[in-house]
Amino acid sequence: MRVRRSIFRVINRRESWAGWSQVAPTLLFLVVFFIVPLAMMFGSSWMARGTYGGIEWRFTAEHYVRFADPLYLSILARTLAWSLGATLFCLLVGYPVAWTLANAGRWKNVLVFLVIVPLWTSYLVRTFAMIFLMRDSGLINTLLLKTGLIQEPLELLYTPGAVMAGLVYGFLPFMVLPIYTSLEKLDPTLLEAAEVLGARPAARFWKVIWPLSLPGVAAGSLLTFIPALGSYLTSDLLGGAKQMMIGNLVQNQFTTARNWPFGAAASFVVMSGVLVAVTLYLRMRDKAPGGGL
């Protein structure tokens, strides 16, 4: 007994040393190439703009004040509205899909795989597919013109609708997969019990299924909202100059406009949105009866 205990003590003592030696190189890398850059971005958002672009070491809050300008307020409002709208739409159509997956029997593996594939296919290529369909000489307009339903090509590209379609197309799998995971864990006997006790389908959904799927709904909403909030390619390629989102503003300040501190401030605005979303997610997860994913 004593021998055993001492062996474990030796293992444990060695463990903490070995553990740190295992995690240290990675932690160092993440701190240097992720945390420090984020801190630098935050810092430079409070600095003045240099005469030739770049950053001057003088404290100022002007870049944040600048967001009160109607132009930037409208970009902020648009970004928020579209990200929330896309998240909500993904939830509405993604939930039934997740339910199908959880109950698909032997088709399950194939169907889940088909949701994963778009997630890992180049987003640039997928956005191009949307352009290919929606541009003036695109497939949709060609078909409609041929059938005589329209005389002039419809203006589909460079509209809010195009950006919205792009966001949903891009991030819907992020919504479906976590909800599917929590629905799959659902114990079917709970539903049978509810049915036996006389609960109608609506009550079975709202009182049993929905609360138990909340961890998935929370995770899915977070994973959809964050990339939508920071999206750059979608609005860049499908929205054009009129449908700028905050991601485009950031990129613009770092390339053509060359106002780095303002760009840093804009990206910190994005990060605070992310922070709020993550906080809400953690709260919701802790409250949910099913626990975290």
Partner 1 sequence: MTTTRRLPAWIIAVTGMVYFFLHAPMLVLVIFSFNDSKFSTEWSGFTLHWYTRLLERDDILVALQRSLLVGGASTVISTVLGTLLAMGLARHRLTARTVLEGLVYVPVVTPEIVCGISLLLLFVAMGIPLGTGTIILAHVAFNISYVTVVVRARLEGMDQSLEEAAMILGADEWTTFWRVTVPQLWPGILSGALLAFTMSFDDFVITSLVSGPGTATLPIVVYGMVRKNIEPSINAISTIVLVVTTTLIYVSDRLTRSPKPS
User: How many residues at the interface with partner 1, by CB under 8 A?
Assistant: 91
Q: Which stretch binds partner 1 (CB under 8 A): 23-31, 58-66, 71-79, 283-291?
A: 23-31
Task: Give the residue with the Cβ less far from partner 1, 70 or 146.
Answer: 146
Q: At what angle do helices 160-184 and 210-229 cross, to 10 degrees?
A: 140
Is residue 238 within the footprint of partner 1 (CB under 8 A)? no
CB of 69 vs partner 1, minimal distance in Å: 21
CB of 164 vs partner 1, minimal distance in Å: 13
DSSP secondary structure letter of residue 119? H
115: its two tokens: 């949701």
Contacts 24+ apart (CB under 8 A), 44-48: 44/260, 44/261, 44/264, 45/261, 45/262, 45/264, 45/265, 45/267, 45/268, 46/261, 47/261, 48/261
Q: Which stretch binds partner 1 (CB under 8 A): 67-75, 121-129, 154-162, 209-217?
A: 121-129
> Residue from 125, 149, 197, 202 that binds partner 1 (CB under 8 A)?
125
Is residue 271 within the footprint of partner 1 (CB under 8 A)? yes
> Residue from 6, 9, 13, 23 that binds partner 1 (CB under 8 A)?
23
Is residue 288 within the footprint of partner 1 (CB under 8 A)? no
Q: Outline where 45-197 has alpha helix (H).
A: 62-65, 70-102, 108-120, 123-134, 139-146, 160-184, 188-196
The C-alpha atoms of residue 22 and residue 139 are separated, in whole angstroms, by: 54
Is residue 30 within the footprint of partner 1 (CB under 8 A)? yes
DSSP secondary structure letter of residue 2? H
Which residues, numbered 173-212, are part of the site for partner 1 (CB under 8 A)? 173, 176, 183-184, 186, 188
CB of 121 vs partner 1, minimal distance in Å: 5
Which residues, numbered 54-83, are part of the site for partner 1 (CB under 8 A)? none
196: its two tokens: 């036996």
